[in-house]
Copies of this chain bind each other. A is one copy, B any other.
Amino acid sequence: MGSGKSKVTITDVARAAGVSSSAVSYALNGKPGVSEQTRKKVLEIADSMGWKPNSAAKALSVAHTHTIGVVLNASSTLLGVEPYFMELFSSVGVELEKEDYSLLLRFAHDDDEALRVHRNWIAAGSVDAVMIFNVEIGDRRVELYRQHPEVPALVFSDASVSGGLTTISSNDADGTRQIVKYLHDLGHTHIARVAGPERFGHTYLRDRVFSEETAKYGMRYDCLHADYTPQEGRDCTKRLLTLPQTPTAIVYDNDVMTIEGLHVASAKGINVPEDLSLISWDDSYLCTVTEPRLTALARNIPALGGQVVSMLYALIDGESVANQFEPGYRLITRESTAAPRAE
């Protein structure tokens, strides 16, 4: 942790904001006593001036929260359906238990709200470190934690969008290559993909590598973007299957959309895998309960939990931590993929 004293004081912030020092204190510590408008103004000014909590007080408080913060702003519906976060939290939580750490879980209905929670956590010293998911290009959370190195952030994204914050990246380029090569080797020449939201860094990366790899093999490639929900998984599949030339394989960016794709195909009388191969990015229990069971790109989430927690502890101890990759992806082939029917 840095030993230098912060140069910007609460008095400086109060002067710049034109409010009392106690109002600044209330605002920075997330306490009642100031209007939301004042709080917002104070936080912005404090941020822009590079205000940081006193490092001694900070170190004291950091030693005591024993919590890792996560703000989730995905829709609650999706969180109940898609197993990834609960699997990850369980795996991380079991590792955290060994050192008496907890997860502080906060829901936020939009990005502004999420940012406000992060600001309050930083000001109040509520957490020892945070985990940041679904990073967008130019993400404001990344900017915020760059300004506040006293609260370490572990970013789940490609290093190219983390602004220098420590990252743990899934090797999406490698995962993409495994999928495209597998489909090419089966004989597919026209594949499609139902991707996640375009604004996410990992979607961007997968988009780019899918384009490159399919081009390399001379395959035709269509891509639609969705929001990971069952509804958009269905809608995109319907659009892909009404194209004049339909693909012989579809890759989905999560398990839930793949399952919905299977249902759409089934309703249209399209046989999986004889007429259409389906692949889920992210394996889960869901992929094993359908008929046919789904070929999926699997992460090793239990191993990931241990790796994540080691990185978090090192960051909390003020160590310099290199960006790391998750354990490698592994393509698990089940009954939803096969060679395309000969024309």
A14-22, A86-94, A147-155, A170-178: which one contacts chain B?
A: A86-94
Complex formed: what's the CA distance from A289 to B81 in Å?
Answer: 12
Q: Which of B79, B80, B86, B259 contacts A80 (CB 8 A)?
A: B86
Q: How far is the CA of A67 from the CA of B80 in the complex (A)?
A: 21
Interface-central residue, A79, A80, A85, A259, by most chain B CB under 10 Å:
A80
The answer to whether A104 touches B104 (Cβ under 8 A) is yes
Query: Which residues in window 198-238 of A have CB below 8 A to B?
Result: 230
| Interface presence of A108 (CB below 8 A) | yes
Contact A94 B109 (CB under 8 A): yes
Q: Which residues of B contact A77 (CB under 8 A)?
A: 90
| B-chain residues with CB within 8 Å of residue A285 when the two chains form the complex | 80-81, 230, 256, 286
Inter-subunit contact A86/B79 (CB<8 Å):
yes
Chain B residues in 8 Å Cβ range of A109: 94, 97
A103 at interface by CB-CB < 8 Å: yes
Does A105 reach chain B (CB closer than 8 Å)? yes
A-B pairs, top 6 by smallest CB distance, nearest first, are: A80-B87, A93-B107, A76-B90, A86-B86, A102-B106, A291-B291
Q: CB-defined interface of A26-64 with B at 8 Å, one 1/0 digit per residue?
A: 000011000000000000000000000000000000001
The answer to whether B113 and A107 touch across the interface, beta carbons within 8 angstroms, is no
Cβ-defined contact, B106 with A104, below 8 A: no
